[in-house]
Structure 1
Amino acid sequence: MVNVDAKVLKQLKNLSRLWASQLDKLARSLTVRTFKKDEIVFDQDEQARLVYLLISGVARVSYNGHERQTIVSLLSPGEFFGLDSLMPESRHPFRCDAFETSTIGSIKPRVFVETLLGTSYENFLPGFTTTLHLSRQSYIHCIRGIGLDVRRRIALELSNLAEHFGSADSRGTLITLAISHETLASIVGASRQQVTEYLNEFDRRKIILREGRRIIVNPKNLRKVIESKP
């Protein structure tokens, strides 16, 4: 265990504008420890229970998928991370470890909100859920597409469209948005011809069912495509 006080936190660039009372409460609420190089702070898909503050060193946030690691960000002192814990029952979409020996503090989400935002967690959560959390989900979706081939990117985007514009159907999930091959190609960064070829394949393999420009997807089979090897 490592002890920090308000003076130490005040020296961190991102925290310099906080009031003295906020820094004092934050310092008293943090559980601080040192992580050795490459030591895991939290793992991908682990239940998110705490918000973290990097006090010294460098932390690495990465996404592990499809036998490839993608570094999402290198964090500098003064940055909070693990903010998925602000949503109840959430899991970390990324992994975080120490890029070099680092001092990191952790704090319960409720205490974090009350200390830095000056409001109750109950008042904070509805606004966060309908604004910032949705934006973060879009960011996470983009990160997950990195390193995927065109076929799996199309499957990932169909899954995303089904989640946002889906309606329950006896045959799967109906994407209520009428989307052209050209638009889908633009979203995934592929040619219209490639999109057409893969949609035809998905249709033959019963991964999707098409009714005009409407698509009905089989979420389970889409997941198999996304998780398949190239």
Structure 2
Amino acid sequence: MASVNVKNLQQLENLSSFSLSQLEKFADNLSVKNYRKNEIVFDQDQEAKLVYLVISGVARVSYLNTHENQTIVSLLPAGEFFGLDSLVPKTHHPFRCDAFENSVVGSIRPQTFIEILLGTTYESFLRWYTATLHSNRKSYVHCVRGIGLDLRGRIALELLNLADLFGISDARGMIIDLNISHEDLAGIIGASRQQVTQHLNEFDRKQIIAREGRRIIVDAQKLRKTIELES
């Protein structure tokens, strides 16, 4: 197991503004490991338990679809934190992270990370984070997951997202409690209204969705299967 000192941390741009006492505590609680090129730091869908810091080298964050095709989400230089999904308990990493080149990576418990660098209790931070930024993080992940899907798959993915945000449970499925037109849905997905209408009609025929005026009732399980077939 490698180690890191305060001087190393002070040289990282994202940590340079923190006090010496904060960095000393941070270094004392940081577990440091050397990763070889392509070695996995954490896998997609693995339970998120730690916050990570690139100390040297480059980390690669990727999304893998159901066929294991890889989309690189970002390349992280020294000084970048990642694995921030762990800030919310009982969550899972939506992406895989591995070493893009030989790298040194530190890891720390999220509670300790918050208390040392933000100077507040983890409980106070969590209330603020879930009320303000967590939904933005979920939107970002949702957008990335649409990469590589064809239009049919993107429509299915967006219907699932709308059901998650505006859904009301019903014996027939989830009612999207939102007065949304085909034109609105086309604008969200980035397609023409005619294309969206064509696919919605197909979903209706196959009983993947049902419609009441502009409200859509979705079968979430069938939509997920549609996405798996398209990805």
Q: TM-score, normalised by structure 2?
A: 0.98
Q: Does 1:109 find its partner at 2:110? A: yes
Equivalent residue, structure 2, for 1:85: 86
Query: SS of 2:120's equivalent?
Result: coil
Distance apart, 1:18 and its partner CA = 0.7
Equivalent residue, structure 2, for 1:34: 34
Equivalent residue, structure 2, for 1:214: 215
State the alpha-carbon separation in 1 of the partners of residues 13 and 47 from structure 2.
29
State the alpha-carbon separation in 1 of the partners of residues 64 and 130 from structure 2.
26
Q: Is residue 209–residue 215 contact of structure 1 (8 Å, CA) maintained in 2?
A: yes
Equivalent residue, structure 2, for 1:9: 9
Distance apart, 1:125 and its partner CA = 0.6
Equivalent residue, structure 2, for 1:199: 200
Equivalent residue, structure 1, for 2:147: 146
Q: Is residue 66–residue 229 contact of structure 1 (8 Å, CA) maintained in 2?
A: no
Q: Which amino acid aligns with 2:61?
A: V
State the alpha-carbon separation in 2 of the partners of residues 116 and 81 from structure 1.
15
Residue identity over aligned pairs, in percent, reads: 64
State the alpha-carbon separation in 2 of the partners of residues 188 and 197 from structure 1.
14
Q: Which amino acid aligns with 2:116?
A: T
State the alpha-carbon separation in 1 of the partners of residues 174 and 199 from structure 2.
19
Q: Is residue 48–residue 90 contact of structure 1 (8 Å, CA) maintained in 2?
A: yes
Q: Which amino acid aligns with 1:206?
A: Q
Equivalent residue, structure 1, for 2:183: 182
Distance apart, 1:211 and its partner CA = 0.6
State the alpha-carbon separation in 2 of the partners of residues 59 and 93 from structure 1.
16
CA displacement, residues 51-87 of structure 1 (integer Å, 9 cap, x when unaligned): 0000000000000014321100000101110000010
Q: Which amino acid aligns with 1:188?
A: I
State the alpha-carbon separation in 1 of the partners of residues 50 and 66 from structure 2.
27
Query: SS of 1:228's equivalent?
Result: helix
CA displacement, residues 188-208 of structure 1 (integer Å, 9 cap, x when unaligned): 111111100100000011100
Q: Does 1:96 find its partner at 2:97? A: yes
Would you identify which runs of 4 or more consecutive aligned residues in structure 1 move more than 2 Å?
Answer: none
Q: Which amino acid aligns with 2:86?
A: S
Q: How many residue pairs get matched?
A: 230
Equivalent residue, structure 2, for 1:46: 46
CA displacement, residues 154-208 of structure 1 (integer Å, 9 cap, x when unaligned): 0000000000000011100000001111111111111111100100000011100
Structure 1: unaligned runs, 5 residues or longer: none
Q: Does 1:120 find its partner at 2:97? A: no
Equivalent residue, structure 2, for 1:156: 157
Equivalent residue, structure 2, for 1:60: 60
State the alpha-carbon separation in 1 of the partners of residues 181 and 30 from structure 2.
51
Q: Which amino acid aligns with 1:21?
A: S
Q: TM-score, normalised by structure 1?
A: 0.98
Q: Is residue 153–residue 230 contact of structure 2 (8 Å, CA) maintained in 1?
A: no
Structure 2: unaligned runs, 5 residues or longer: none
Q: Is residue 150–residue 230 contact of structure 2 (8 Å, CA) maintained in 1?
A: no
State the alpha-carbon separation in 2 of the partners of residues 158 and 33 from structure 1.
41
Query: SS of 1:105's equivalent?
Result: strand
Give the 5 Å matches for 1:122-137: 122-137=123-138
